[in-house]
Amino acid sequence: MAFDYDLFVIGGGSGGVRAARIAASEGGARVALAEESRMGGTCVIRGCVPKKLMVFASGYPQAIADAREYGWDARVDGFDWVAFRTRLHGELDRLEGVYRAGLTRAGVEIFDCRATIADPHTVALADGRKVTAKHILVATGGHVDFPDAAAREIGISSNEVFHLDALPERLLIVGGGYIACEFACIFTGLGAKVTQLYRGAQILRGFDDEARGLLAEEMRDRGVDIHCGTTIIGMERGADGIRVRCSNGHEHLVDQVLFATGRSPNTAELGLEEAGVRLGRRGEILVDAYSQTNIPSIFAVGDVTNRINLTPVAIREGHAFADTVFGGKKRAVDHELVASAIFTQPEYGAVGMTEEEARELHRIEVYATSFRPMQGAFIGRSERVLFKLIVDAKSRKVLGCHIVAPNAGELIQMAGIAVKMGATKEDFDRTVAVHPTISEELVTMRTPVRTA
């Protein structure tokens, strides 16, 4: 059978774009891609990139306050949200253009509309056309989950944050994951009064207990009012704001309520089940190590598969798919020991196991130190950092590394290389420290603080 395309990609996020570009430019495939929203997906348009720019913006008041303590005659006036937002959107437009240009140069045909699967080799476009492809790749990412209809009607999600007409003076954030914690720190840094509600016992469930405990303390010290073990029991919008009643008996009057209560794969009404594609209990597309579904012609990469929902992972999956199917290089993505960073203030970087995970599977030694860094201690700031290594007592391999500190995202990238290579505690010990730095603690901890 002759097909219109060798590959049709549904979704123009990081994973889909990488797959399309590599398949066309390096694999010589005839490729088309459909995107119903904006090219670049969650990361570029409504996630990592705009969020990180907001992180930068939110850090200047503290930096300027520190500069005064160091002797500078420094002042900061009120934050101009509209000016920042205008520049932010201009940058996102530029990046979207870069994505489009890369696809066009590679020879990928772009359809700016929704696409669904009609059968294992046919894609239906929203304009009524149908096209055929030898292979179909689904890379539609995920969507925001609201807990109920009232939350959807009254609240906003991280998608709407970048389009607010004005910066809220009083903000309630619901959720305890990394998105909730990042925006709690961002808006506090920008001058808002932030309250954060989380139903669990501690924020950042699934991360290392010691690290998330310290981070919660630091967030509170910076002004985030965190309430754990708490949920919303009522919410009404009035002339003076949104009145929120909580299960702990507190009531909050705020300008905005931001729900960061999770995300789910974008698989609804795509025609997947009708085509016979198996889905998981959360709606994720089930794939093998090569991103292939149970239908041989249909593949999926990125958040829609709910493996590791990080942009660099989606890019790797998309590239590996293109190499496997069109490049003659069968390649599976290694999802083990993927480093990650949470861009709170301070940041949290992690790679490998938490202490809680490691003690279930190994006999371990824990090396950890928490202290006030020189830069802040000099001017009387109370901020503390944490450096932590979890070591297998028998093999001496470093099973996990956790850093809570300024620029922890930058530091964990370097530590991640060593952990991925299988470095032992003695490899760290043999490395001469760079002094004076906070990261020298990674190679100077000689005695375990506990064993298990």
CA distance 158 to 192: 16
- Do 5-143+264-326 and 149-261 show the same overall fold? yes
C-beta separation of 428 from 441 below 8 A: no
Strand ranges across the sheet with 232-238: 232-238, 241-246, 251-254
Position 1 scores a pLDDT of 76
Q: How many Cα atoms occupy the beta-carbon half-sphere of 19 within 13 Å? A: 36
The CATH fold assigned to 340-451 is: Enolase-like; domain 1 (3.30.390)
* DSSP notation for 226-259: EEES--EEEEEEETTEEEEEETTS-EEEESEEEE
Residues in the chain: 452
Phi–psi pair at 259, nearest 5 degrees = -95, 120
Position 452 scores a pLDDT of 94
Domain boundaries along the sequence of the chain = 5-143+264-326, 149-261, 340-451
Position 397 scores a pLDDT of 98
pTM: predicted TM-score of the whole model, two decimal places: 0.96
Q: How many Cα atoms occupy the beta-carbon half-sphere of 433 within 13 Å? A: 13
Is there a catalytic annotation at residue 250? Answer: no
C-beta separation of 229 from 202 below 8 A: no
Position 57 scores a pLDDT of 98
3-state secondary structure at position 5: strand
Position 213 scores a pLDDT of 98
CATH number of the 5-143+264-326 domain: 3.50.50.60
Q: What averages of pLDDT result for each successive group of 10 residues across the chain (452 residues)? A: 95 98 98 96 95 98 97 93 97 97 98 98 97 98 95 96 96 98 98 97 98 98 97 95 96 98 96 98 97 98 97 98 97 97 98 98 98 98 98 98 98 98 98 98 97 96
CATH number of the 149-261 domain: 3.50.50.60
Position 275 scores a pLDDT of 97
